[in-house]
Each structure stands twice: as C-alpha cells, then as structure tokens.
C-alpha cells in the first residue's frame, strides 16, 4: 500500500475511535469488495467471515505454502488451486499412477 492509502486507512481507524501510537500495527483482511488489493484491504474488526476473499488466501497464501511441501509428490500450486475439489490423497495417488 502506498503512503496515501495508509494515511486514509489510519484516518478511518481513528475516526471509529481506535487509538494509535507510533509503532502500532493495524491488522487487515483482504475482502471481496474492491478491484485493487489496497481497496480490498479492510481492518480485521470491520469484516465478517462472509466478506473475506477466500480465493485470494487460497491462491496467494495456502497453495504456495502447501505446494512447497507437496512438491515431492509432484503437486504444484496451480494444481492445488485448480483441483481443490479432489483430496490431496487423490492428487498424490494420481501423480504416482502417471509416472
């Protein structure tokens, strides 16, 4: 996020009565509203679970981390995201059958 965006987010935080001191960190969650990532970032305390952009977290956070571990089975991040309706065991056994 740029400086201007952070300032807007800080003002919003202060407007609702939260106090900030130098060095404080503000927790954000990526939501479904907005087109750009900085527009989607909302303070965690203003977001309900149904507003969270789970696709963002799966494709940007979960799949890359899991793929590093599952890479030994030949399963990459794209495969995890595209085929998440299948279980990991099914993905792994399918990979071994095709070798």
Tens digits of residue pLDDT in 15-32:
777 777 788 787 889 999
Predicted local confidence at residue 48, as pLDDT: 93
Predicted local confidence at residue 26, as pLDDT: 78
Give the whole-angstrom CA distance, residue 40 versus residue 26: 15
Predicted local confidence at residue 21, as pLDDT: 79
Predicted local confidence at residue 32, as pLDDT: 95
Predicted local confidence at residue 27, as pLDDT: 84
Give the whole-angstrom CA distance, residue 48 versus residue 86: 28
Low-confidence stretches of the chain (pLDDT beneath 70): 1-6, 80-99
Predicted local confidence at residue 49, as pLDDT: 93
Predicted local confidence at residue 40, as pLDDT: 93
């Amino acid at each position: 996020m740029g400086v201007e965006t952070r300032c807007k987010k800080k003002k919003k935080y202060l407007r609702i009565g939260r106090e900030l001191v130098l060095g404080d960190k503000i927790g954000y969650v990526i939501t479904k509203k907005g087109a750009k990532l900085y527009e989607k970032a909302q303070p965690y305390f203003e977001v309900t679970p149904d507003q969270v952009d789970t696709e963002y977290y799966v494709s940007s956070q979960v799949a890359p981390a899991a793929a590093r571990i599952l890479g030994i089975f030949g399963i990459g991040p794209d495969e995890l995201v595209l085929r998440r309706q299948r279980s990991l065991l099914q993905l792994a056994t399918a990979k071994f059958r095709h070798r």
